[in-house]
Amino acid sequence: MRNVFYKGLLLTVWFMLAMAPALKAQDRGFLMERMEKDLEELNRQLKEAEEDLREFADRRLDFEVSRQIPVEFLNEYVPPVRYSEVASRLKKIENKVPLVHNKRVHAFVQYFCQKGRTYSRGVLSRKNLYFPIFEKYLKAHGMPEELKYLAVVESGLKPQAMSRVGAAGLWQFMPSTGKVYGLKYDYFRDERMDPEKSTVAACKHLKTLYKTFGDWELAIAAYNCGRGNVRRAIRRSGYKRNFWDIYRYLPRETRSYLPQFVAITYMFEYADEHNLVTRNRRNAIPADTLLFSQFVNLKSLSELTEVPIEDIRLMNPEIKYDALPGNYKGYSLRFPKAHAQVFREKRQKIMAVAGQKDKRKIMEKAKRTPWSVYGRDMIYHRVRRGDVLGRIALRYRVRLSDLRRWNNLRGNLIRVGQRLRIYSRSSKYLSKRRKSRRTPQNIPYSKTHWVKRGDTLWSIAKLYKGLTVQKLKRLNGLVGNRIKPGQKLRIG
């Protein structure tokens, strides 16, 4: 900025000197005096601008440093990430899952060991909470222990992580896949976020994928993008069955999925060599289980037992709203072992309060929440000719969006004979309503029926005593079954 200013000033002086012979002495004196004053003013403004810029830069630097890097790590030593060294180290730790090293993998290794050190320290600090669980169930299912690092790629070891497409938990299960492996999901709980149950489900899913492809790299790729996409990539590659051979035919996200897995594995195994020190490492709280078959307000339970609510949440991340409803039979709540015996001794007194506090308020909120099925009875509706999704939703007094969600529908397309799952607040009323609709009524005095949207000859014939489809056709001179809304039909 200062250089630009002085260049402009020199150009102006040169121009004035060139014009000097044409000016009178008095004019030249006045001009030089004016230039000196302007120069002082410009110098003052330039200094102020430079001070403002420096202050702004300092403020921004302080903000970014405080937000991204802890103070104790500002001047830390960051070891270099050498290509040949990483390759030899990966060969040393390779077990059943191949740990291929190439430029794509190395780029992620550099990120996790150098640029993304804050993220790496975060996941390293949480490994003692969940790795013992992963190792226990992977061993029980006879699977490679290094598969535990997949959960780091999926969720960053955050049990309540939720993706933009609806996958949740440490292993990022979609609701439909979670149901296949027995993970329950309702207003009060989401077992995809349960560390133990979701890990068992992940082991079963990965084992199924390995049986399908016979290769751990392809199984890992399929865990991310599904079996169909991997099969398609194999077919397009000329039926090659190696991840790196089908690499360019896989979805974009999956191409970076396995390289991230290899890089994360390296970072965890060689964290000390890269000076990735974690000062606030979290350890699992020794736990006991308490069984509940009635409503429990967990905040009230926390106060009465003097257990921090944060500890209860940490041990039970699948519970979404700090409460358990009364319809869970023998629900196992993980509880700090040091306080479990105290609760058992005073259970009756504690539950007299924790079992009633805000119960009505929480239950009413659960019933009113969109998509919630709590307090509702499940019934089935079989789609008939002329049915549309909007009319079905109106008939059963449910939201159209809820009806789609309960039946995994993306749009409004339904087919004749399809069974729709409906959760109704008043199934008794609906059953009476359906019975009343099924009971034929006497033909009215006008002996006419105005066709409404969704009506068919069969449904109209069922409405009136002694009326059949053949009789309707004969009375109205119809050849086929086609009728339209607003049409007037004779029914007697």
Q: Has residue 277 been placed in a domain?
A: no
Domain encompassing residue 12: 2-68
Highest mean pLDDT, choosing among 7-16, 60-69, 187-196? 187-196
The residue type at 424: S
Asked if residue 253 and residue 154 are part of one domain, the reply reads yes
Q: Has residue 64 been placed in a domain?
A: yes
Asked if residue 32 and residue 126 are part of one domain, the reply reads no
For residue 361, pLDDT over 60 is answered with yes
Asked if residue 221 and residue 122 are part of one domain, the reply reads yes
Mean pLDDT of 283-297: 93
For residue 482, pLDDT over 60 is answered with yes
State pLDDT tens for residues 133-142.
Answer: 999 999 999 9
User: Would you place residue 326 in the very low, low, confident or very high pLDDT band (cuts 50, 70, 90)?
Assistant: confident
Return the minimum-mean-pLDDT range out of 34-43, 59-68, 95-104: 59-68
pLDDT at 369 (0 to 100): 78
Asked if residue 41 and residue 11 are part of one domain, the reply reads yes
Q: What percent of the chain has pLDDT over 90?
A: 52
In this structure, what CATH number is given to the domain that contains residue 480? 3.10.350
Mean pLDDT of 80-105: 94
Q: Where among 310, 343, 368 does a domain terminate?
A: 368
For residue 23, pLDDT over 50 is answered with no
In this structure, what CATH number is given to the domain that contains residue 425? 3.10.350.10
Q: Where among 338, 368, 398 does a domain terminate?
A: 368
pLDDT at 18 (0 to 100): 52
Task: Check if the beta carbon of residue 263 is closer than 8 Å to that of residue 105.
Answer: yes
Asked if residue 149 and residue 174 are part of one domain, the reply reads yes
**DSSP summary character for residue 464:** B
Mean pLDDT of 210-235: 96
Q: Has residue 443 been placed in a domain?
A: no
pLDDT at 426 (0 to 100): 57
State pLDDT tens for residues 462-477.
Answer: 888 888 888 888 888 8
Enumerate the H helices of 142-279 as residue ranges. Answer: 150-155, 175-180, 195-213, 216-225, 227-236, 252-269
Asked if residue 477 and residue 404 are part of one domain, the reply reads no
In this structure, what CATH number is given to the domain that contains residue 143? 1.10.530.10
Q: What percent of the chain has pLDDT over 70?
A: 82
DSSP-assigned beta bridge partners for residue 422? 379
C-alpha span between 104 and 255 (Å, rounded): 9
State pLDDT tens for residues 309-320.
Answer: 999 999 999 999
Asked if residue 176 and residue 153 are part of one domain, the reply reads yes
Q: Has residue 223 been placed in a domain?
A: yes
For residue 67, pLDDT over 50 is answered with no
| pTM > 0.75: yes or no | no
For residue 100, pLDDT over 70 is answered with yes
Q: Where among 269, 300, 317 does a domain terminate?
A: 269
Helix (H) or strand (E) holding 382, with range, is: strand 377-382
Residues 6+ apart with CB under 8 A from 473: 457, 479
Among the listed residues 153, 145, 144, 157, the one whose alpha carbon sits nearest the alpha carbon of residue 223: 153
Tokens of 245: 């051979």
Q: How many domains does the chain have?
A: 5
Q: Has residue 144 been placed in a domain?
A: yes
Return the minimum-mean-pLDDT range out of 82-86, 316-320, 342-346, 480-484: 480-484
pLDDT at 9 (0 to 100): 52
Asked if residue 298 and residue 222 are part of one domain, the reply reads no
The residue type at 37: K
pLDDT at 409 (0 to 100): 87
Q: Has residue 75 been placed in a domain?
A: no
Asked if residue 341 and residue 318 are part of one domain, the reply reads yes
Highest mean pLDDT, choosing among 9-13, 16-20, 235-239? 235-239
Q: Has residue 281 been placed in a domain?
A: no
Asked if residue 305 and residue 195 are part of one domain, the reply reads no
Asked if residue 414 and residue 316 are part of one domain, the reply reads no
C-alpha span between 418 and 381 (Å, rounded): 8
For residue 379, pLDDT over 50 is answered with yes
Mean pLDDT of 294-298: 94
Q: Has residue 326 been placed in a domain?
A: yes
Return the minimum-mean-pLDDT range out of 97-101, 202-206, 258-262, 415-419: 415-419
Asked if residue 234 and residue 189 are part of one domain, the reply reads yes
**DSSP summary character for residue 226:** -
